[in-house]
């Protein structure tokens, strides 16, 4: 999926750069390219001197994260800066977004705020092609770390979809389009009828396709939530539904704050949008598409993609007699949008979102994305130019500083492990990077020194994905060093044939579904991946998606339950040391050992793919330290 690199520093986070007593600024001589120049400890003045000595201009500084926002004459300027011992990384801040001066003035922080073709029967229409992409972790890759839009993955950490995952997504009629860059979770299919009177049975087996999707005495669509039953969240809801003093940040493509199954828990006052859309890129090609709002700045309660709304719904859809219930249905949701409509998650918006979370009492954040344009960031890869190595060092350094800052302020960090079917402990090649500008990616050899960020950053709890049988989902990344926990994320291929209801059902923005022609003018679902739930004259929509982007929010919800129970009064309402939250996440998880044999073979449409699990029951590459358990978290003594 496409990744967006975005623009200028937000005034609320960035203070004027002062050298001695004077502000360094000369607007009339502003060079063409902006850079985030990360300096070594104590190296700010030396970094500023290097910027000026090489013909650049220091615009502002962010002392919390140790970087200078500078302007200079392109790649040559960056290469020259990289020779200074005071500078540890340089990342391009491509001018695609910009800060909101009005919001900054109020001191509220930075900016204002397929599927390879298969037939409906599941028969592949063509050989599976890899869907690559990135940030949306689940499926667009994007928002899961790669939200998955399958693997452009963009919303889910990681991004690309493996061939098998691409097939799975395509195999379900109407599965979600890959969004912009990495894969967003591909929509698994559910029956497209309204949820009144019970869904039709889909082909593919009894679990969860048959009885598990018939009526329920709980929330109207609860019977479709095999994921919540797997982790005991249905029982946890009755014991410890969470506290509205707990603030959960969703760093994603946005959150539909008006959705009936999100609005009761949506904190509009704290929500922010750290990106500004741009209709076309510098080459005149479509990037985000037409702007819907003045200045191309979406309000903080809008999600044009759907990935972030799905994530938020899984965490905290309320118990309100509508739709579904989230893992922690009483906690508050805060939209911290860092992803573009096109599915890119660039460094600056992610830094702004994490810093804002730290400074505003957010207790836990969900990160289902990876930082574009590099799927794997290598400090010293011989296949990369000097300029490219400096950029990747900037991403590794900048994100680690922001994560450390947030964690130091009491923010627990949860991330999706990614959707590339890759052993992150033994990566061999990266054919997705750099994914921006368009058509700039190439294949390069990599090794375990190269990092998928933030998945492999320090202090982050990374989550692999499971299908309804409990097996690791075919698309999910794995690795004994990288997988910390596992959680249901859906797998349409986990069972006989292909079934949409093996995916994760959660809220979807009506406007996004209409644009994608998934509902018609009368509001009727046109795909098996969409479900409508009506109460009187009010109807709300839900969609099935797959991906590690869908797995991570289950763990985020369990973390919110733990903080609700054991947090103490603090900024924003309550606070709890992230190390203590992590300890209880691991202590309450259900241990799950590697399969036997360890080389697990996935079969689909006459093809097969083998993933090898390393480690023991206490910690292994498929399941980490176990499968999250909401009920145990709701009942354990500290």
Surface-to-core class of residue 15, CB atoms within 10 Å of its CB (0-12 exposed, 13-18 middle, 19+ buried):
middle
**Tally of CB atoms within 10 A around 300:** 25
d(CA 638, CA 636): 6
Strands 485-488 and 461-466: parallel
Q: What is the DSSP string of 225-251?
A: -HHHHHTTHHHHHHH----TT-EEEEE
Q: Is 252 a catalytic residue?
A: yes
**Helix or strand or coil: residue 399?**
helix
C-alpha distance from residue 131 to each of 164, 168, 190, 418, 550 (Å): 10, 11, 22, 13, 18
Out of 135, 259, 307, 554, which one is annotated catalytic?
307
Tokens found for residue 300: 């903080």
388-393 CB contacts, 8 Å cutoff, 24+ apart? 388/434, 390/78, 390/79, 390/81, 390/82, 390/89, 390/90, 391/78, 391/89, 391/90, 391/91, 391/92, 392/89, 393/38, 393/88, 393/89, 393/90
State the DSSP code for 59: E
d(CA 295, CA 132): 31
**Residue 532 backbone dihedrals phi, psi, to 5 degrees:** -110, 135
Tokens found for residue 602: 């996935």
**Helix or strand or coil: residue 557?**
helix
d(CA 115, CA 128): 9
Out of 252, 288, 298, 363, which one is annotated catalytic?
252
State the DSSP code for 287: S
Strands 412-416 and 619-620: unpaired
Q: Is 549 a catalytic residue?
A: yes
Strands 247-251 and 87-92: unpaired
CA dihedral 83, 86, 88, 94 (to 10 degrees): -80
Q: Is 443 a catalytic residue?
A: no
**Residue 51 backbone dihedrals phi, psi, to 5 degrees:** -60, -50
Tokens found for residue 78: 């960056």
Q: Which of 559, 398, 385, 303 is nearest to 64 (CA)?
A: 398
Q: Which residue has 């593919």 as its token pair?
A: 204
Out of 243, 441, 465, 549, which one is annotated catalytic?
549
Identify whether the C-beta of residue 364 lies closer than 8 Å to the C-beta of residue 553: no
d(CA 446, CA 451): 10
Q: Which residues of 71-106 are buried (b: 16+ CB within 10 A; e: fewer)?
A: bbeeeebbebbbebebbbbbbbbbbbbbbbeebbee
**Tally of CB atoms within 10 A around 337:** 28
Question: Which positions are annotated as active-site residues?
Answer: 252, 307, 549
């Amino acid at each position: 999926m496409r990744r967006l690199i975005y623009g200028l520093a937000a005034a609320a986070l960035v203070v004027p750069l002062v050298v001695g007593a004077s502000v360094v600024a000369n607007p009339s001589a502003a060079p063409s390219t902006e850079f985030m120049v990360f300096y070594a400890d104590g190296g700010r003045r030396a970094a500023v001197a290097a910027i000026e000595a090489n013909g650049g201009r220091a615009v502002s500084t962010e002392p919390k994260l140790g970087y200078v926002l500078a302007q200079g004459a392109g790649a040559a300027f960056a290469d020259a800066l990289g020779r200074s011992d005071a500078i540890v990384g340089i990342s391009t801040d491509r001018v695609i977004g910009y800060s909101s001066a009005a919001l900054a003035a109020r001191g509220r922080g930075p900016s204002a705020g397929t599927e390879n073709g298969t037939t409906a029967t599941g028969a592949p229409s063509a050989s599976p092609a890899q869907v690559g992409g990135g940030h949306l972790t689940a499926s667009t890759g994007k928002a899961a770390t790669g939200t998955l839009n399958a693997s452009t993955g963009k919303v889910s950490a990681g991004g690309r979809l493996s061939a098998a995952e691409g097939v799975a997504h395509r195999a379900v009629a109407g599965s979600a389009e890959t969004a912009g860059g990495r894969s967003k979770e591909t929509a698994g299919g559910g029956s497209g009828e309204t949820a009144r009177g019970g869904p039709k049975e889909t082909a593919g087996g009894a679990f969860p396709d048959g009885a598990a999707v018939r009526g329920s005495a709980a929330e109207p669509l609860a019977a479709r939530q095999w994921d919540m039953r797997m982790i005991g969240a249905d029982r946890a809801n009755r014991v410890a539904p969470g506290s509205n003093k707990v603030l959960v940040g969703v760093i994603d493509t946005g959150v539909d704050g008006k959705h009936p199954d999100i609005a009761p828990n949506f904190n509009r006052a704290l929500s922010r949008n750290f990106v500004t859309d741009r209709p076309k890129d510098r080459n005149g090609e479509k990037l985000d598409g037409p702007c819907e709002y003045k200045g191309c700045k979406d309000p903080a309660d809008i999600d044009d993609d759907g990935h972030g709304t799905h994530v938020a719904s899984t965490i905290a859809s309320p118990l309100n007699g509508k739709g579904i219930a989230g893992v922690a249905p009483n906690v508050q949701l805060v939209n911290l949008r860092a992803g573009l409509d096109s599915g890119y998650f660039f460094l600056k918006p992610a830094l702004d979102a994490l810093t804002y979370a730290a400074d505003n009492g957010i207790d836990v954040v969900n990160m289902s994305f990876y930082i574009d344009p590099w799927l794997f960031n290598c400090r010293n890869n011989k296949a990369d130019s000097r300029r490219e190595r400096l950029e990747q060092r900037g991403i590794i350094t900048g994100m680690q500083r922001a994560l450390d800052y947030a964690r130091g302020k009491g923010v627990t960090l949860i991330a999706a492990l990614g959707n590339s079917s890759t052993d992150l402990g033994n990566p061999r090649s990266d054919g997705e990077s750099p994914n921006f500008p368009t058509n700039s990616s190439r294949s390069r050899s990599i090794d375990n020194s190269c990092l998928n960020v933030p998945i492999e950053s320090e202090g982050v709890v990374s989550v692999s994905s499971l299908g309804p049988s409990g097996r690791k989902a075919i698309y999910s990344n794995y690795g004994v060093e990288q997988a910390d926990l596992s959680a249901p994320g859906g797998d349409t291929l986990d069972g006989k044939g292909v079934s949409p209801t093996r995916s994760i059902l959660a809220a979807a923005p009506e406007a996004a579904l209409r644009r994608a022609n998934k509902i018609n003018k009368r509001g009727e679902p046109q795909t098996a991946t969409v479900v409508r739930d009506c109460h009187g004259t009010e109807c709300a929509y839900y969609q099935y998606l797959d991906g590690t982007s869908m797995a991570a929010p289950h763990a985020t919800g369990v973390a919110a339950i733990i903080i609700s129970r054991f947090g103490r009064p603090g900024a924003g309402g309550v606070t709890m040391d992230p190390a203590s939250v992590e300890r209880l996440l691991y202590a309450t998880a259900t241990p799950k050992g590697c399969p036997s044999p360890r080389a697990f073979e996935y079969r689909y449409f006459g093809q097969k793919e083998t993933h090898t699990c390393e480690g023991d029951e206490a910690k292994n590459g498929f399941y980490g330290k176990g499968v999250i358990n909401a009920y145990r978290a709701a009942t354990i003594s500290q």
